Amino acid sequence: MADLAAVARLYAAIWGTEPAAAPISAEIMRALAHAGNYVAGAYEDTRLVGASVAFFGDPIGTSLHSHITGAAQGRGAGLALKLHQRQWALTRGLKRITWTYDPLIRRNAHFNLVKLGARPEEYLTSFYGEMDDAINGGDESDRVLTAWDLTAPSASCPLELPAGAAHGVINQEGRPEIGTTDAEIVLIDLPDDIEALRRTDPGAARAWRLAVRHALGGLLADGARVAGFHDRRSYVVHRTPSPAT
């Protein structure tokens, strides 16, 4: 319990909440771990620098859902945890890991799509409601459900931007500008730093939320697939061609 309480304090520090309002409590982590789910910590010498919590998902026996992973930046703890989680899942015969993340945070999109090779599958509007912490800043908690195919090669290749790509959302001097989403390949830019923008210009942050919700959410709902993340700033989305009439 002392180790799990340390994880809760780490999460509270990362998300900028009071310790009593940490994203997940030591008691819940204790119950999940005791039931056989994934609860792991990353240590630098003896200091806790990251942790991850996941539970078995649907379809049972195939999937693990990673509920929360938090780590100090710049130490590689986040990647180490995800690779450990991958091996833990494979040892138990699982084939994929899913999780949700805020699609507006560029570093998370780059980490998930480029470093891990995971892919967004579904756009979830205001999944947790409004979240008033240092990361979410009272904004609506739109998320994308992302899946990591554990049977695919672990290293992803650099994404070559296809010719003829059109911008569905373009970053124009820090503000989102809506373009077209009816091209075969659509680029969706992200803001430079949505977390800072939520503190300094909530109106601009909301404009980004609505623009990406409309473009990325609409494309995923129509069956498009995210092929990758270009230049650390843009989703690359492939639309399914309409059947010939």
- pLDDT at position 156: 56
Query: Would you say residue 158 has pLDDT above 90?
Result: no
Residues 64-85 have a mean pLDDT of: 95
Percent of the chain with pLDDT over 70: 93
- Enumerate helices (H) and strands (E) in the chain, giving the number of each: 7, 11
Nearest to 151 by CA among 100, 110, 93: 93
Residues 138-158 have a mean pLDDT of: 82
Confidence of residue 73 (pLDDT cuts 50, 70, 90): confident
Query: Do 38 and 55 contact (CB within 8 A), yes or no?
Result: yes
Fold type of domain 2-149: Aminopeptidase (3.40.630)
Query: 21-37: per-residue pLDDT in tens?
Result: 999 999 999 999 999 99
Residues 99-105 have a mean pLDDT of: 97
Give the separation between CA 91 and CA 98, rounded to whole angstroms. 17
* pTM for this predicted structure: 0.90
Query: 193-234: per-residue pLDDT in tens?
Result: 999 999 899 999 999 999 999 999 999 999 999 999 999 999
Confidence of residue 177 (pLDDT cuts 50, 70, 90): very high
* DSSP string across 140-192: B--EEEEEEETTS-SSPPPPPPPTT-EEEEEEETTEEEE----SSEEEEE--S
Domain range summary for the chain, segments of one domain joined by +: 2-149, 166-238
Confidence of residue 245 (pLDDT cuts 50, 70, 90): very low
Give the separation between CA 67 and CA 47, rounded to whole angstroms. 23
Nearest to 212 by CA among 105, 85, 92, 93: 105
3-state secondary structure 110-141: HHHHHHCCCEEEEEECCCCCECCCCCCCCCEC
Sheet holding 38-44, edge to edge: 38-44, 47-57, 63-71, 96-101, 143-149, 119-124
Q: In this structure, which amino acid lies at residue 21?
A: A
Residues 107-118 have a mean pLDDT of: 95
Give the separation between CA 117 and CA 67, rounded to whole angstroms. 18
